[in-house]
Structure 1
Amino acid sequence: MNEPVTRLPDINDIPLSAPLTWLASGWRDFWSAPVTCSLYGILLSGISAGIFLVLYTTGSASWFFVLLGGFLIAGPLLGMGLYHAARELSDGRKPSLSGMLWVRAAMRRDQLLLGLLIVFLYFLWTRIAQVIYALSTPQIFREPQAFLTFMLTDPAGQTMALSGILTGGVVAFCNFSLTAISAPMLLDRRFDVFMAMATSVRAVNRNFYPMFLWAVLITGLTALGVLTAFLGLIIVFPVIGLASWHAYVALVRQQGA
């Protein structure tokens, strides 16, 4: 069993193109275990599509974008099985679906604390979204088309959309800074959640532009996956999750691992 460490690990400097290298590595990993990774992606895509269907049928269309923001916030935690798969592939082993769904290394108090932080940030985002919505219009839109028409053509709706994007972006980037490295880092039991989050923030701060590009790529690819009726998430989410493990390995200097 690895002994706990008492100091934060060093952070590597990375080039601006590094996120593209991580995506390429994630793509290779996906095709090294295509069935297992696809099943993981199908599960997540199915859950996402089911939530959207419930929103659509219950006339809660305006909540879709809030939940989409929540999906981006919760993504690092949902990818735990994929970090495990990438590590297995790096060690020359084939990951199993059961091993990805039940990651023993993630069953610890530190993982719970990180999850609680993500839940807090998500609820913070939903409350902000509710305030912005309430200040923008007294109407409750039951149909997606009516809500989109208001958001795109009405000045109040456009202001609402811009305010939501800006505030949601700030919350999402704060979450990204705290979890981009900490989520995969917690698979290494030598580090606790506070060391992992501090390392993640340091990695983003030291390599701001490459990490900002990484955040943009994650957001853009996730949006693309959603816009393809969630089918794109079957591939997009596993590739991003696998690539996130390679991001951790590239950013955090491995000493005595």
Structure 2
Amino acid sequence: MDASGGLPGVRQVGLLAPFGWLAQGFMDLVRAPVPMLAYGMMIAGVSSGLLYGLYVSDAAFWALTLTFGFVFIAPILAMGPYEAGRRLEAGEQPSLLQVVFVRPAFRQDVAYLGLALLLIYLFWGRIAQIVFGLSTYQMYDTVDAFAAFALTTAEGHNMLLAGTMVGGIIAFFTFTLIVVSAPMLLDPRANVFAATITSFRTVAQNPGPMILWAALIAVLLLASAATGFLALVVVFPWLGLASWRAYRALVAEPEPVPLGAQPA
């Protein structure tokens, strides 16, 4: 701990450090392919199923909202890969059961963080509705009609531009809130207030690397969305493991947290 009110120290890293985190995360994925890819298949299956249901229901607007909103809720879904990264770092091979049921995550502080992300996601959905309503007075009953409006009209272009700008601001705030706080809460000694403050301090002290890290995460998640979320089979556990590596590189701890430690 340092002198910052008992908070853990924050390290400064080089601008290109996020590429190293991705490389380390991929090596961790190779070390534990079965539980990681199985976890990715579950995330991809649920996401693809929701997207397909919205598509066949001609709820194109909500399909677009889900695609962009996934960035907001993904960090809390990655508690499994964080736990796998923690166990791999300790020299233990994680099992699928340990990745799916993360015991240190079953406590109030993680629930509070999840609630905050849910509220941000609902806020984003409301903002998206407002942007859509200000862009057109028509309702589009089919996916093709909505896509034609969004891609071929000036009003549609303005909607996409405004939605991207507002969504980007909300997404970066969410990233700043969550980037190290979610993996940090696997430490039973941490609470949600210390974790979120540490997350903000991390971004403030490493603006260049963290902007690059946010951009890499966004590109990989949006590229996965372009495949109907099927690419999440690999991308999601990869990013989760890389995020654990990022947390360990950025936040100084006096000693590793024992695997058997339980929340207070």
Question: TM-score range with shorter-chain normalisation?
Answer: over 0.9
Q: Does 1:41 align with 2:44?
A: no
Q: Distance in 2 between matches of 1:65 and 1:139?
A: 17
Q: Distance in 1 between matches of 2:185 and 2:7?
A: 13
> Is contact 1:69-1:172 (8 Å) kept?
no
What is the DSSP-based 3-state SS (H/G/I as helix, E as strand, rest coil) of the residue aligned with 1:142? coil
Q: CA RMSD in A?
A: 1.2
Which amino acid in 1 is paired with 2:235?
A: V
Partner of 2:97: 98
Alignment of 1:1-257 (within 5 A): 7-257=6-256
Q: Distance in 1 between matches of 2:135 and 2:230?
A: 33
Which amino acid in 1 is paired with 2:118?
A: V
Ranges in structure 1 where 5+ consecutive residues have no aligned partner: 1-5
What is the DSSP-based 3-state SS (H/G/I as helix, E as strand, rest coil) of the residue aligned with 2:70? helix
Structure-1-length-normalised TM-score:
0.96
Partner of 1:3: none
Structure-2-length-normalised TM-score:
0.93
> Is contact 2:51-2:228 (8 Å) kept?
no
Aligned length: 253
Q: Distance in 2 between matches of 1:74 and 1:106?
A: 15
CA shift digits 1:127-149 (9 cap, x unpaired): 10001111111222232222122
Q: Distance in 2 between matches of 1:175 and 1:42?
A: 25
What is the DSSP-based 3-state SS (H/G/I as helix, E as strand, rest coil) of the residue aligned with 1:221? helix
Q: Distance in 2 between matches of 1:32 and 1:93?
A: 11
Deviates more, 1:146-155 or 1:244-253: 146-155
Which amino acid in 1 is paired with 2:16?
A: S
Q: Distance in 2 between matches of 1:55 and 1:229?
A: 12
State the shift of 1:256 in Å: 3.6
Q: Distance in 1 between matches of 2:143 and 2:177?
A: 33
CA shift digits 1:215-234 (9 cap, x unpaired): 11001011111212322110
> Is contact 2:68-2:222 (8 Å) kept?
no
Regions of 4+ moved over 6 Å: none
- Percent identity (aligned): 44
What is the DSSP-based 3-state SS (H/G/I as helix, E as strand, rest coil) of the residue aligned with 1:187? coil
State the shift of 1:11 in Å: 0.6
Ranges in structure 2 where 5+ consecutive residues have no aligned partner: 257-264
Q: Distance in 2 between matches of 1:192 and 1:148?
A: 44
Deviates more, 1:225-234 or 1:158-167: 225-234
Q: Distance in 2 between matches of 1:206 and 1:114?
A: 22
CA shift digits 1:168-217 (9 cap, x unpaired): 00111100000000000000011100000000000011101100110110
Q: Distance in 2 between matches of 1:91 and 1:142?
A: 53
> Is contact 2:40-2:234 (8 Å) kept?
yes
